[in-house]
Amino acid sequence: MDPHSYRPNEFFFNNWVYEGLVSYGPDGAILPQLASAWTIADTADGGQEYRFTLRAGVVFHDGEAWNCSAAKMNFDHVLQPPLNELDYHGWYHLAKNTESWRCADSSTFVVKVSQPYYPFLQELSLIRPLRMLSPNSFKSGRGTSPVDENSCPVKWGSPSINGKTVTCVGVASFKGTGPWVYDETKNKADGSMDEVVFTKNSAWWGQHGGVEVIRAKAHASSDAVKAALMDGSLDMVVGAGVLTPLQVKEFQEQRIEQFQTILGPPLMNTIIVMNSAKAPTNDTKLRRTIMHGVNKAAIVDKEMAGMAMVADSLFPKDAPYCDLDLTPRWDYDFEKASLLNCPAVMLNDAQSSGSDSGGPDLGLVVGLAVGIGLLLLCVASFLFYRVGRQKGYQDLAENNRQAQAKAQAAGEVVGNAA
């Protein structure tokens, strides 16, 4: 549960225990957290300098004071080269653009970036890796070397890039400044985790609710979670994926008296990641074929019990700058997907009329073929009609001639019917 590395399923633990300089608020607003205020100024070399005024009166869970030296110590360990490279923390560019950091005084922390970098504050708000750990929680306390005893996890070994090396030794304890204090982990008889206990941080600078202790319980399946809710051994469920969408809908629609179901705003979209090494997904035609061929609405209805919305973008609409209605929208259209994927008719791109596939518009080709066929059928029908009518005139004339001959022979006078 250290805040300086990455493992799955620990984010909410870390968000309870540790805090950063800033936090991410509604609609992408950057809110004060361990920094109560900040200013941004351009520097003569083309970079920028952020001056953070640190929140006064904050203490870590072990009683250690929160101040600039604690902030600098965390930055020293997390951004120590080569940990600021791509293989480690450089996956987000804050690590690559952060040039230096220092204490102007005990309550002012100054960070310089090499160039204007818009997401700097957004990335500071992330749960990993720049949440603040108590100096006493480092391996050798305040004197822990960021080179020889870095807080990076032991399994990372001794990363070395371009002649710069650190030795990872992990952390000694899990003490932050957050609203909840890690207390203990209880295991089952087989050694697997049973529950993790957190107690309220009575010294927290924020506002608490009425809960004193949280026991995060492990369950084998969503059915086990539902059963625990129903028998009263579990008080509440928070977050996606704990219950199935259908189970959440059951609690919502049945309105079981002892439960209340609350749905928050969308935090992220569910995505499918495809390995481009296994399939040529850099082919835009293939991408469009896949997008047109997937019935997202049917998936939402069947697999998510209608508890989600169809998404046509990577980020939810309430993320900053993501509320645009972009066109074309790649909606489900199986016929179009089939046409995009059909190799029956191939034309040069120069012959394309701007179809969705970027190549030959097969629909146009088929339409022209059908249209020309109908035209030929009409022409043939007309010709047959003209031939048949002419033959009818000839037959009628012959019949009249024979009738006149018979009438004359009989001494009758017959008018020319023709």
pLDDT tens digit string along 8-43? 767 888 999 999 999 998 878 999 999 999 999 999
> Which residues on adjacent β-strands are paired with residue 396?
none
CATH 3.40.190.10-classified regions of the chain: 11-165
Give 33-76 pLDDT, tens digit per residue.
999 999 999 999 999 999 999 999 999 999 999 999 999 999 99
Fold of 11-165: D-Maltodextrin-Binding Protein; domain 2 (3.40.190)
Distance CA 293, CA 151 (A): 47
Could you please report the per-residue DSSP string of 349-367?
Answer: GGG--S-TTSS--HHHHHH
The pLDDT, as a whole number, for residue 281 is 65
CA angle (220, 222, 225) in 5-degree steps: 80
124 confidence band (pLDDT: 50, 70, 90): very high
CB 204 within 8 A of CB 178: yes
DSSP symbol at 178: S
- Of 205, 252, 246, nearest to 23 by C-alpha is 205
Lowest pLDDT segment from 77-86, 156-165, 188-197, 374-383? 374-383
Kindly report the number of other CB atoms within 10 A of residue 212's CB atom.
9
Ranges of beta strands (E only) in 19-159 are 22-24, 30-32, 35-42, 48-54, 98-105, 108-113
Contact 47, 120 (CB under 8 A): no
Res 277: pLDDT: 62
How far apart are alpha carbons 113 and 116 in whole angstroms? Answer: 7
What's this model's pTM, rounded to 2 decimal places? 0.74
Strand order across the beta sheet in which 193-200 lies: 180-187, 193-200, 213-217
Lowest pLDDT segment from 166-180, 211-225, 267-281: 267-281
